[in-house]
Amino acid sequence: MNDFKIEYLPNATKIKKENGLYKCYAYEDGCIDPNKGGLINIGFKLQVTKDYFIHVFSPVFKALGGVGDSDYRGVYSVIVFNDTKSVISYKKGDYVGNFAIIKTLTPVIADN
């Protein structure tokens, strides 16, 4: 069993495990302007062990990706792009995305 360590920022909404994923919530109010990208701070740092990585994504917004490996020590965010003609606003505590902890497999790849 691996121990993964989470550190929440002050007053962050705690993650919730649901259907094999962890639900994430906005750490602060914000908005994404039309045809612009942005980061939505989700209020925690999470340390995984070697051979694992974290995949952050959003079914709520158009997400551009986001991964963290065992070396990453920063605060996690959902990377999004607003491809609409309207400002997208969100409030502290709004559900904004998910993350999964994924085990990596790195077998030897033989040259032909």
Token digits of residue 22: 């962890």
Q: Of all residues in the chain, what percent carry a pLDDT higher than 70? A: 97
DSSP state letters, 45-71: EEE--TTEEEEEE-SSSEEEE-EE-TT
**Rounded Cα–Cα distance for residues 71 and 35 (Å):** 32
Per-domain residue ranges of the chain: 5-103
What is 5-103's CATH topology?
Deoxyuridine 5'-Triphosphate Nucleotidohydrolase; Chain A (2.70.40)
DSSP state of 11: T
Residue 62's pLDDT is 79
How does pLDDT run across 13-66, given as a tens digit for each residue?
999 999 999 999 999 999 999 999 999 999 999 998 889 999 998 888 877 777
Residue 4's pLDDT is 86
pTM for this predicted structure: 0.86
Instruction: Flag whether pLDDT at 8 surpasses 90.
Output: yes
Question: Is the distance from CB of 6 to CB of 15 less than 8 angstroms?
Answer: yes
